[in-house]
């Protein structure tokens, strides 16, 4: 799953390919180069073939003060954890930081906050050389928490970091002080507007020779807007330039109309139909294009359209993934719905099936949602997307499920109710979560057991969450139910069954601990810890370490508790999880470790007031049904030193 995430992120961390016919308009006075030597740089451009390709061209010239890291921001980064995870991924995947850098150890969790920001800034401050970070399409960032968090980085920016922001609108950041201090260079649309010689060169490279009067008219209509010039270039016929210019308009509404009436109509019918059919996907590969069109020439067609600058560019400087201009894609979708309304649902489902076959559940869910196929959304969630609960991409999964969750209010199906339950889980609303899960189960009353394994596992997982939150004594029974379902579920329906088994066993052990079955809990947790290491479940392992430290305190093994708690705290600090109020959120349901409690209780018990800390600890162990609370009679004895081992002897609580 981590390799899959890295593969998807890699598409966004490389500058796009610069077409051969692209003319880079240099900023007046070299302001781009001046800006990169300042603390920050903001570029505001109208869409396409302007800011992005200008920055991409500049980054490939080798004129930067150091290595360039690139991140193309999108809507999924409106989540604090996702934003910082992607930003750090850009620095590491882009080879902007060394292999031994502390930044490679930071893995943002749901509670990413000020301490973790300091951790990132400290890692940036330790960089031996200057690093340039380009954040393209920063206008997608609208979440106030992400903006505030990034603003703190700007306020305390390490000198080794040079930032370049490319955006279509001024970001909601506190930049005035930087402007006054000369630490910020603004490059506006007017700064990057094409001059007459640059526009003439652009058209000349593409086989169109403009007269002086024609060039003047064109510049007046476009005002040097790069995307407008590209649109004009595509619609002009070299044999009838004046006729083409008479049909071209420069205002944005008319440019949008032009995209439909002139740009696509100038393409051959096969290419026009290709763009219409593939417009259901925001990113295209040859295989996906072939699956949508039923053709076998997807790669050749994509490369030809990209070479023609048909508002389609290669991603990450490679020729395997492509992206259509967002405005063009939106208009193509409108035309597809108008001309071929019956094909829209089928094409979205084809895209969903293709992404599902590639092991990419989030885009598959988005495509099924666009098709309005809510049962398919539920199937993708239960059979394919559920493992993402174990990854930092859970926020993106919940965002993809949000339309289905909203649909559950008016169309309660098994799929929409399970989507709503998972969204409630993400918001820690366990009562609504379990209500929707139960409602989904009731709707499956007549479904054969063989067809509902995956859904039953998800419902059982949510019951474990509910038990841990509302009735800890019921956790072992809920975990046992989950384990029974996992034993009977076909592996092909649940490829990550071993990860869920580890979660279930961990919850069972925690239930044993709260029930007072300390020996069984300790043995089970030791086994789970080994499996977590093998399966790469880092946060689950951290939970296990925390509870083992708690058991050390209960049994009076205070040096062991201190050592184990310190190790767990060190892992949390190194990974950037220390401030996460509920670290189980990123690793699966029901993981509720007393994250800092073993360190606090264990160290204080060992060093200060063992009687007070022992009472405090016992109060954290509520008695469950049938549980006979063990307690110390009177004042618990102070730890005795064992001269043979140099360790504190056990505190034996009375019966």
The helix/strand/coil state of 427 is coil
The per-residue pLDDT for 356 is 93
Tell me what pLDDT residue 608 has: 43
> Looking at residue 190, what is its pLDDT?
62
Nearest CA among 537, 528, 538 for reference residue 506 = 528
For 392-417, what is the mean pLDDT? 91
The structure tokens listed for 407 are 């649909």
CATH T-level assignment (fold) for domain 2-191? Rossmann fold (3.40.50)
Q: Is the pLDDT of residue 299 over 90?
A: yes
- If one counts every other C-beta atom within 10 angstroms of the C-beta of residue 330, the result is 14
Query: Is there a contact between 113 and 579 (Cβ–Cβ < 8 Å)?
Result: yes
- pLDDT digits 0-9 by tens, 326-370: 767 877 888 898 888 889 999 999 999 999 999 899 999 999 999
Residues in the chain: 655
Provide the pLDDT for residue 16.
76
Higher-pLDDT residue of 288 and 179 is: 288
Is the pLDDT score of 435 beyond 50?
Answer: yes
Tell me which residue of 630, 563, 638, 565 sits closest to 648, measured CA to CA. Answer: 638
User: Which two structure tokens, joined as six digits, stand for 551?
Assistant: 């058991």
Question: In terms of DSSP bridges, do strands 647-648 and 641-642 run parallel, antiparallel, or are they unpaired?
Answer: antiparallel
pLDDT at residue number 573:
79
Token pair belonging to 624:
């469950």
pLDDT above 70 (res 194): yes
What value does the mean pLDDT take over residues 519-545? 85
Q: pLDDT tens digits, residue range 570-583?
A: 877 777 666 554 43
pLDDT mean across residues, the chain: 77
Structure token digits, residue 459: 């419902």
CA distance 311 to 24: 16
pLDDT score recorded for residue 127: 84
| 180-194, 233-247, 429-443, 491-505: range with lowest mean pLDDT | 180-194
pLDDT of 343 reads 94
- What are the boundaries of each domain within the chain? 2-191, 196-266, 509-648
Decide: helix, strand or coil at residue 442: helix
Place 427 in a pLDDT band, splitting at 50, 70 and 90.
Answer: confident
| Most confident stretch, 138-152, 175-189, 576-590 | 138-152
**pLDDT at 6 (0 to 100):** 57
Q: How far apart are CA 537 and CA 258, in angstroms?
A: 52
pLDDT given for residue 7 in this prediction: 60
406 pLDDT tier (thresholds 50, 70, 90)? very high
Say how far apart CA 571 and CA 533 lie, in whole Å.
Answer: 13
The model's confidence at residue 603, banded by pLDDT at 50, 70 and 90, is very low
Q: Which of 119-133, 466-480, 485-499 has the lowest mean pLDDT?
A: 485-499
Mean pLDDT over residues 532-546, rounded? 81
Q: What is the pLDDT of residue 273?
A: 93
d(CA 228, CA 649): 79
Q: What residues does 237 pair with on adjacent strands?
A: 240
Tell whether the model's pLDDT for residue 121 goes beyond 80. yes
Q: For 171, left (φ over 0), alpha (ψ -120 to 50), or beta? A: beta
């Amino acid at each position: 799953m981590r390799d899959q995430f890295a593969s998807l992120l890699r598409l966004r961390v490389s500058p796009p390919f610069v077409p051969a016919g692209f003319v880079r308009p240099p900023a007046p006075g070299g302001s781009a180069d001046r800006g990169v030597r300042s603390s920050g740089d903001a570029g505001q451009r109208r869409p396409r073939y302007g800011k992005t390709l200008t920055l991409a061209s500049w980054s490939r010239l080798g004129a930067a003060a150091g290595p360039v890291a690139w991140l193309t921001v999108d809507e999924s980064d409106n989540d604090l954890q996702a934003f910082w995870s992607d930003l750090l991924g850009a620095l590491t995947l882009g080879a902007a930081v060394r292999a031994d850098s502390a930044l490679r150890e930071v893995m943002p969790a749901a509670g990413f906050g000020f301490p973790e920001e300091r951790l990132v800034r400290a890692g940036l401050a330790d960089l031996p050389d200057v690093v340039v970070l380009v954040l393209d399409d920063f206008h997608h960032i609208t979440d106030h928490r992400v903006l505030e968090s990034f603003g703190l980085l700007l306020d305390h920016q390490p000198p080794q970091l040079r930032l370049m922001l490319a955006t279509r609108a001024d970001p909601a950041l506190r930049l005035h002080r930087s402007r006054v201090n000369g630490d910020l260079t603004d490059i506006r649309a007017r700064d990057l507007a094409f001059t007459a010689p640059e526009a003439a060169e652009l058209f000349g490279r593409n086989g169109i020779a403009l007269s002086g009067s024609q060039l003047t008219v064109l510049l007046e209509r476009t005002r040097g807007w790069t995307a407008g010039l590209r649109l004009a270039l595509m619609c002009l016929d070299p044999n009838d330039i004046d006729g083409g210019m008479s049909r071209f308009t420069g205002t944005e509404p008319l440019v949008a109309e032009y995209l439909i009436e002139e740009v696509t109509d100038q393409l051959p019918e096969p290419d026009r139909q290709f763009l219409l059919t593939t417009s259901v996907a925001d990113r295209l590969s040859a295989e996906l294009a072939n699956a949508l069109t039923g053709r076998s020439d997807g790669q050749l067609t994509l490369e030809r359209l990209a070479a023609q600058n048909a508002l389609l560019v290669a991603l990450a400087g490679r020729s395997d993934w492509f992206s259509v201009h967002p405005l063009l894609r939106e208009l193509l979708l409108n035309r597809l719905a108008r001309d071929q309304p019956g094909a829209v649902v089928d094409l979205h489902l084809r895209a969903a099936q293709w992404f599902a076959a590639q092991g990419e559940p989030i885009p598959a869910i988005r495509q099924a949602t666009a098709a309005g196929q809510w049962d398919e959304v539920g199937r993708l969630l239960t059979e394919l997307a559920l493992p993402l609960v174990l990854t930092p991409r859970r926020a993106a999964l919940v965002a993809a499920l949000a339309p289905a969750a909203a649909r559950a209010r008016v169309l309660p199906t098994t799929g929409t109710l399970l989507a709503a339950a998972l969204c409630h889980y993400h918001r820690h609303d366990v009562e609504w979560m379990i209500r929707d899960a139960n409602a989904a189960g009731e709707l499956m009353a007549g479904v054969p057991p063989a067809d509902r394994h995956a859904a039953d596992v998800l419902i059982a997982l949510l019951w474990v969450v509910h038990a841990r939150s509302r009735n800890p004594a019921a956790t072992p029974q809920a975990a046992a139910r989950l384990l029974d379902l996992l034993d009977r579920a076909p592996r092909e329906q649940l490829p990550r069954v071993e990860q869920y088994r580890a979660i279930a066993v961990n919850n069972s052990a925690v239930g044993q601990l709260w029930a007072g079955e300390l020996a069984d809990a300790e043995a089970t947790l030791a086994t789970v810890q080994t499996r977590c290491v093998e399966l790469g479940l880092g946060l689950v392992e951290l939970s296990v370490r925390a509870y083992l430290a708690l058991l050390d305190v209960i049994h009076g093994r205070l040096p062991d508790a201190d050592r184990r708690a310190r190790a767990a705290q060190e892992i949390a600090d190194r990974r950037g999880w220390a401030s996460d109020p509920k670290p189980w959120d990123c690793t699966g349901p029901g993981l509720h470790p007393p994250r800092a409690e073993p360190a606090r209780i264990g160290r204080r018990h060992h060093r200060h007031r063992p009687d007070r800390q022992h009472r405090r600890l016992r109060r954290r162990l509520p008695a469950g049904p049938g549980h006979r609370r063990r307690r110390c009679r009177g004042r618990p004895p102070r730890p005795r030193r064992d001269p043979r081992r140099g360790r504190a002897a056990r505190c034996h609580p009375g019966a």
